[in-house]
Amino acid sequence: MLRSLLNIDPTKLDQLDCPVKLSKHELNLIKEITDILTPFEVATLQCQGENVTSSKVIPCIRGLRAELELLSQTYKSNMITTLKSSIEKRLKIYEDMEMFQLASLLDPRFKMDWCSPEEVNLMKSLLKTKVDEIISTGNKEKDSLQENKEAPRKKCKLFRFMTPSSSTSSSLCTLTSTLSQMESYLSQPITEDDSDPLLFWEQNQSTLPQLTILALQYLCIPASSAPVERLFSIAGKVFRPERCRITDARFEELMFIKCNKHIVN
């Protein structure tokens, strides 16, 4: 609204028959407010769109902080100081949450670009720990299935101290696989901002299997509740007073069709 006001030619604005007209100082103040709030508008649009994952939370917070720092060099405004303080009070907590850190790490559009130099090794360690947990869980499940399917093999008591060479080589391959997957992923260039991170993992699930499992766990978390809130708005339009006899099953079907109309057979 403020931006549209600034786009009006000042001479035409003066010609408007209004009881109160904006002074030059007030117009400058409106421009200052618009410039300061623009990064927040961008962050809101970034986080509240459809199919937006939680990977955008930390980059948006740090982007806001960086933009306010730049704006403070142009405008000496208390509003900037208040907004900086508000970010630290309200949003910094999300930067320390593991799920948001991992989501940003596993988004090919960001990877580790959002990290400070002090955080790089810490984030690599966190990612490796999570991948190792997935591999460990997978190995336990395999061992359990193997025990159930295969009968115990007879072995001479004298050779009980020996461990099968296959298990040793398997563990070495697993370790190598973990490190090589991380190095391969992090060494690749980041993707475009408008690219789909889930499509990237679908295309790379054969070469980065454990990382793909981890990515699907964290990238499925939405960045905000806005898409869910939009569902309630749609539901209100579908379930109108004049359609009060609609059954639950039919209501569910209509909602499914409405929300998935973009899907083609």
The reply to whether 144 falls in a domain is no
The reply to whether 136 falls in a domain is no
The reply to whether 135 falls in a domain is no
The reply to whether 166 falls in a domain is no
Identify any residues that bridge with 222 across adjacent strands, giving them in sequence order: 53
The yes-or-no verdict on residue 201 having pLDDT over 70 is: yes
Closest Cα partner for 202 from 187, 190, 212? 212
- Count of Cβ atoms closer than 10 Å to residue 135 Cβ: 19
Look at residue 222 and give its three-state secondary structure: strand
The reply to whether 18 falls in a domain is yes
End-to-end CA distance of the chain: 41
For the chain, the domain total comes to 2
The reply to whether 219 falls in a domain is no
Range of the domain at 232: 226-259
Q: Which of 74, 96, 118 is the last residue of a domain?
A: 96
Q: Residue 131 and residue 121: Cα distance in Å, rounded? A: 15
What does pLDDT average to over the chain? Answer: 82
What is the pLDDT at residue 145?
43
pLDDT band at 80 (very low <50, low <70, confident <90, very high): very high
The reply to whether 240 falls in a domain is yes
DSSP summary character for residue 239:
S
What the block records as the tokens of 58 is: 């930390």
Q: Residue 93 and residue 91: Cα distance in Å, rounded? A: 5
Average pLDDT estimate for 31-51: 89
The yes-or-no verdict on residue 67 having pLDDT over 50 is: yes
Average pLDDT estimate for 78-92: 94
The reply to whether 163 falls in a domain is no
Q: Which of 76, 96, 116 is the last residue of a domain?
A: 96
Q: Which of 49, 73, 96 is the last residue of a domain?
A: 96
% of the chain exceeding 70 in pLDDT: 84
Instruction: Transcribe 85-136 into DSSP letters.
Output: HHHHHHTHHHHT-HHHHHHHHT-TTTTTTTS-TTTHHHHHHHHHHHHHHHHH
Q: Residue 22 and residue 10: Cα distance in Å, rounded? A: 10
pTM: 0.74
Closest Cα partner for 212 from 198, 226, 222, 230? 198
Which pLDDT tens digit goes with each residue over 151-195?
A: 454 444 434 444 444 443 444 344 446 677 888 898 888 898 888
